Amino acid sequence: MAAKVEIYTWTSCPFCIRAKSLLKKKGVDFSEYVLDGDEEGRDKMAKRANGRRSLPQIFISDSHIGGCDDLYDLDSRGKLDPLLQ
């Protein structure tokens, strides 16, 4: 069974676009929560993300992964694919 992947984004955020690009390249289905102008949604995200308010914030199987750089770091160390299984 594939992991549940969730990503909180802004529409024009270059880091959000880059993170989604990597997930799409890997053929990962993900749920995207676009927070453009949604401060209530951003507050909810921050609670899940240990207070982090920057975007994107990525969760795999309900575990907080972090942002775009964290996602790419996991991939470069060969640790992303096992999480996505």
What is the residue range of 34's domain? 9-84
Residue 4 counted as domain residue = no
Residue 61 counted as domain residue = yes
- The CATH number given to whatever domain includes residue 30 is 3.40.30.10
**Total structural domains within the chain:** 1
Residue 39 counted as domain residue = yes
Residue 2 pLDDT level (bands cut at 50, 70, 90): confident
Cβ(3)–Cβ(60) under 8 Å? yes
Residue 32 counted as domain residue = yes
Task: Give the pTM.
Answer: 0.95
Q: How far apart are CA 64 and CA 15, in angstroms?
A: 17
Read off the pLDDT of residues 4-40 as tens digits, 9 standing for 90 and up.
Answer: 999 999 999 999 999 999 999 999 999 999 999 999 9
